[in-house]
Every structure is written in C-alpha cells, then in structure tokens.
A and B are shown apart, each in its own frame.
Chain A
Amino acid sequence: MMTPMLMTALALALLAGPLGCFVVWRRMAYFGDGLAHSALLGVAVGLIAGMSNQIGMILVAVLFAVMLLWLRTQRLLATDTLLGILAHAALSLGVVAMALLGFEDAEVHDYLLGSLDNVSADSLVYVVLGCGLALGLLMRLWPGLLLMTTSEELAHAEGVPVRVYEFLLMLLLGIVVAAAVQIVGILLITSLLIIPASTARLVAGQPETMAIGGSVMAALCMLGGLPVAATLDVPLGPAIVTLTVALFLMVLSVRLLAERLNLIN
C-alpha cells in the first residue's frame, strides 16, 4: 500500500520543483489555484465519459486554460477577475456534478484535502507516466521558458513561440494538478508548487539550483508527511503542507541569521 504512494509522491515532487519555480517567477499562483479548483469537475467528467480521473482532470484543465487565454484576449475583465470566475464556476460545477453522480461527502472531502486511501496501484501508472512526460517536456522547453520569463519581448524577437510556450506551461500545470490531487488535495496543490520553490529561492543563485532545490524540498516534505498523516490520523495534504511551511520558516531563519552575522550579503 505504501509503495505506490511513495512513488507517486516522489514523481510529483520531481515535477513540482521546476514547475513551481515558474509559478513563482511568472506570478501564476492564482492561476494554479484556479486550475486546481477545476479538478473536481475533471473527476466528474472522467466518470461520465468513462475515462480515468487523471485524463478527465487534464482535459478540464486544458479547457480551463484555453478559456482563460481566450477571455484574456477579449480585454473585458482583468485576468484575476476572470480567474476568479472560472475557478469558482468550475469548483461549484464539480461539487454539484459529484453530488448528482452519487459521491459521498467524505469522498469529495478526500479530493479537497488529499488522502492516503486515494492512491491505488493502477493510478500510479498514470501519475508516473504523466510526471515523466511532463518533466521531459519541461526540460526541452527550459531555455526558451527561462528567456521568456526574463523578457517576453526578447524571447519573441529571438524566435521563441511565446504563446505556444505559455500554453504548454499551462498544460504542464494541468498535469501536475491531475497528479497531485490525490495526495495533497485540490485546496493545497498550489502550496506544493510555490512553498518548496520559495524555500529554494532563499539559497539558490541560479535558476536550475532553485528548481532542483524545490524538488528536493518537496520530496522531503512528502516523505515526511506520509508517516505523519498515517500515525496521527490527519488529512495527508495539510500534513505535507504544514511540513513545507515549517521547512520554509527554518531556512528563512537561517538565512536571516546569516545575513545578520554578515556571513552572506
């Protein structure tokens, strides 16, 4: 029982590090949150269409991203307003659909906050495969994504197809959401992306070190969170995220102390 869970957690941590960096650098935290909110609808869609949860979630995530990008070009409302509308529409629709489909409240709760029982051996294949593909794509796009994060105009002028890259980044976020829902839950997925990356930022001087550092921190917290949740019988997502926050505060204190002692500047 613990092995698929462990492998899922590690695959997820590996992807969450570098992807979380882009969420931080490009200020996509609210977008990630919105995308996560659409995941319940994805579960319902998957069930109705007879597909796996993960495929349903990725489909809904893609739809979410496409609608956001399209609405944004209409320039009617600010992006954060659009995100708010889309996110809560998706969440409400998702909860309503799941209730109509006969899901128990407890099951919905597990999707929202993550659970040890959510991970099964057959979903493991999807998650590891999805994370592996996503990581490969991310590594391939890495130099162009970094350039467009530094300056979108420069990237555009140097021939990086920035709109395509932006969409692919959203797709990657959709994949990480689909993979992470079972463990950390819909409400806390964004924190799994941004807290480890922010912790790594405190010690990193290069983009790559920040990305790898983020993965390592995420992995540590997942590995720690699993036994904590099992032993104390608390929801898994909040247990993991509490650990990431604790780690963040520790690294922050060490850094501030080092600055105070003039060890670094």
Chain B
Amino acid sequence: MSEPLVEAKHLNVRRQGGLVLDNVSLTLGERDFITLIGPNGAGKSVLLRHLLKLENPESGSVTHRHGLRIGYLPERFQIDPTLPMPVKRFLALNNKLTHDQIAELAAETDCENLLDKPLVGLSGGELQRVLLARALSNDPHVLMLDEPAQNLDVSGQLRFYELIDALFEKRQLSVLMVSHDLHMVMNSTRQVVCLYHHICCSGAPDSVARDPEFIQMFGNEMAQMMAVYQHSHAHDHTHDHDHTHLHEMKP
C-alpha cells in the first residue's frame, strides 16, 4: 500500500472546556473519496482545519506526505466590497498561472463566462465554482471542501457534486469533503465517516446507514431512506444524477 497523503493520529482538541475532537484518527490515501458527516457542532470543520494544519491539536499529530499539495475550499468566504477583484485576477493571486492555465481551469469548473466579473457580484453557485477553481489552482493531490454546497439550491447542489465527481475521475486526486447534504453525498461518495466529537462509524454508505450510532444520530427514517437509496444504486458510480432521484429520496 502506498504512503497515505494525510494521516491524523489520535487528535484531541478542546474548545471552551469541552472536547471537540476526542481521539480522532483518520487516513486519507491516494484516490480516496471521503465524506465527513455529522450534526452541527460535531467538530467537522475543526477536524478539517487540523488536517490542513491551520491549527495545532492539543495532542495527537497530523502528517502530510512530503510535497503534498492541498486545494482548500473554505466554509466561509466574504470579500469586502471595496476590494475590486475580477475572478481571473483572484484565480491568479499569489501564484504564477498563465492566461491559458486560467482559461483551462475555468473550463474545467464551468467558470468561463465569469472570468471578467468582479467577485463581489457573484451568485452563491457561481462563487462556489470560482472557489473550486481556486482550490484547483495549485494542481492539488487532495481537495478539501468544507460544506461546498451549503448555499446552493437543489439543482445547484446536484450540479456542484457532479462537478466534484468529474474532477475526482479526471484529475485522479483524492477528496475529503464535509457535507450536510446526506442524500446527495451518498451517491457519489466512496467512503463516509460519521463524526460526533469521536468517529462514530465509517465505511461504505450502506453499512454506515445500518450502524446503530448513525441511526441514533440521524433518526431511523433517514437511515432507512439512505439504505434503500443506496441499495438501488449500489453498483452505480456513474454520474447520471437525473432528477428522479430526488423523488425517490423523499420520505
């Protein structure tokens, strides 16, 4: 087995007295696609920030493979409206991307018609695609996405997850994503890790959906729904998210 890209061992993180991460270990290998799920306040973003080495844990360690490049899409992004910043300038900030490379990046993330627009006026979906392009700008081995589809409507979510799936196939990278959109995630995700301060369960979506801790956390209904949903798509990893899925998923 090849060396893992990112490896977290026994992370402990304390915030305002409480343990946010309790002995969390996680390994991201080449071509892994892991989705981190869990209720609000479970420590998902905190874990991601530690995996990125933006913060240091109280105990435990995070190791990156030597020379690892990570593309990051942060949960919050708010630019001051007084900063004039066209999209293509943003994509080339603090790196040496050429005009052609930017055009290529934009084509890959469906941003071609946004390049000359200012960042400030973009819609939620447009901004997420631009941030995805930015995350790809250093040709990363790993994409780390923190709730990338949170402000999008349902069709926007579908479109965005399709985009990530396509990138996963085309660029041969690894993906670690925090997500709330359980129903969306299950179809495109190879591995689910369910976090509530500690790692409750992890594995393929259908096995996670049968886990008692998962059922306790998200309710039986969600678990059943997911099990059914996953079952009918168990061997279907193509990207034909048509809209009938949505009807199937309604409880």
Contact = CB atoms under 8 A, between A and B. Distances in A.
Contacts of A206: 84-86, 89
A150 B84 contact: no
A143 interface: yes
A25 interface: yes
B74 A154 contact: yes
Contacts of B70: 157
B52 interface: yes
A146 interface: yes
Interface in A147-168: 147, 149-151, 153-158, 160
Interface in A1-57: 24-27
Given A143-B93, A158-B94, A153 B72 contact: yes
Interface string B53-93: 01000000000000000101010110110111110011001
Contact of B93 (A27, A146, A156, A209): A146
A11 to B, nearest CB: 25
A144 interface: yes
Nearest to B76: A153
Interface string B102-125: 000000000000000011000000
Nearest to A157: B72
A236 to B, nearest CB: 28
Given A151-B74, A207-B85, A156 B54 contact: yes
B138 interface: yes
A25 B83 contact: yes
A150 B85 contact: yes
A160 B94 contact: yes
B134 interface: yes
A147 B94 contact: yes
Contact of A150 (B72, B76, B79): B79
A205 interface: yes
A26 B118 CA distance: 18
Interface in B12-62: 52, 54
Most buried by B among A27, A143, A147, A158: A158
B134 A154 contact: yes
Chain A contact residues, majority secondary structure = helix
B86 A146 contact: no
Contacts of B86: 205-206
Contacts of A204: 84
Contacts of A151: 74, 77, 79
Nearest to B135: A154
- Chain B residues touching A, range: 20 to 34
B152 to A, nearest CB: 19
A207 B120 CA distance: 13
Contacts of A156: 54
Contact of A25 (B80, B94, B118, B119): B80
A19 to B, nearest CB: 14
Contacts of A155: 94
A8 B70 CA distance: 46
Contacts of A157: 52, 54, 70, 72, 74
B42 to A, nearest CB: 20
B138 A158 contact: yes
A160 B83 CA distance: 19
Contacts of A198: 82
Contacts of A25: 80, 82-83
Contacts of B93: 143, 146-147, 150
A143 B91 CA distance: 12
Given A143-B93, A206-B89, A150 B119 contact: yes
25 contacts: A24-B82, A25-B80, A25-B83, A26-B80, A143-B93, A149-B80, A150-B83, A150-B90, A150-B119, A153-B77, A154-B72, A154-B134, A157-B54, A157-B70, A157-B74, A158-B94, A160-B94, A198-B82, A204-B84, A205-B84, A205-B86, A205-B118, A206-B85, A207-B83, A207-B84
Interface of B: 52, 54, 70, 72, 74, 76-77, 79-80, 82-86, 89-90, 93-94, 118-119, 134, 138
Interface of A: 24-27, 143-144, 146-147, 149-151, 153-158, 160, 198, 201, 204-207, 209-210
Given A206-B85, A207-B85, 8 more contacts: A147-B93, A150-B93, A153-B76, A153-B77, A154-B74, A155-B94, A158-B72, A205-B86
- Top-6 shortest CB links A-B: A143-B94, A157-B72, A153-B74, A147-B94, A25-B83, A147-B93
